Amino acid sequence: MNRADHIAALEADGATVLRTASTIVLVLPQVRDVDVGDELVPIATAAKIAATSTRVVKDAIRGAELPAFGGQRDRSVRRADLTRWIESRRSKPVVVGVDADLQARMRRLAKGAAR
């Protein structure tokens, strides 16, 4: 395949070709983002992404909270599964009922600050 064939193939794929007397400039189309959901991540990297230890990730795998692939030495997790597991571990806000004692203390503090 010669240079003209390569340029024609790039044009067919959506590249823009700019020609001058002595130069050919190829402007390649933007590459689409790759879906990282199916990407396999090693356990050590998964622990860094989750900001935890490898032991916690391995415990999640053993407890069937996080599916893993591969053997013991090359065990990996899917990025999408890791993201779901991290989200499931986030602390949820706790809604607490109104405490009359707490409100009375807050009123006393507000009166003391106003003086």
Rounded CA gap, 88 and 69, in Å?
Answer: 20
CB of 81 within 8 A of CB of 38? Answer: no
**Which structural domain, as residue segments, surrounds residue 46?**
36-89
pLDDT one digit per residue (tens) for the chain, 115 residues? 777 787 787 777 777 777 777 777 767 666 555 556 688 999 999 999 999 999 999 999 999 999 999 988 889 999 999 999 999 988 777 666 777 888 888 888 888 877 6
Q: Residue 37: CB partners within 8 Å, gap ≥ 6?
A: 78, 79, 80
Show the tokens assigned to 85.
Answer: 């597991």
53 and 9 inside one domain: no
Show the tokens assigned to 30.
Answer: 């933007």
Number of domains the chain is built from: 2
**Predicted local distance difference test score (pLDDT) of residue 37:** 67
**Predicted local distance difference test score (pLDDT) of residue 75:** 92
2 and 25 inside one domain: yes
Taking the whole predicted model, whether its pTM rises above 0.95 is answered as: no
Rounded CA gap, 38 and 79, in Å?
Answer: 6
Length of the chain: 115
10 and 47 inside one domain: no
Classify residue 114: in a domain, yes or no: no
15 and 44 inside one domain: no
**Predicted local distance difference test score (pLDDT) of residue 9:** 78
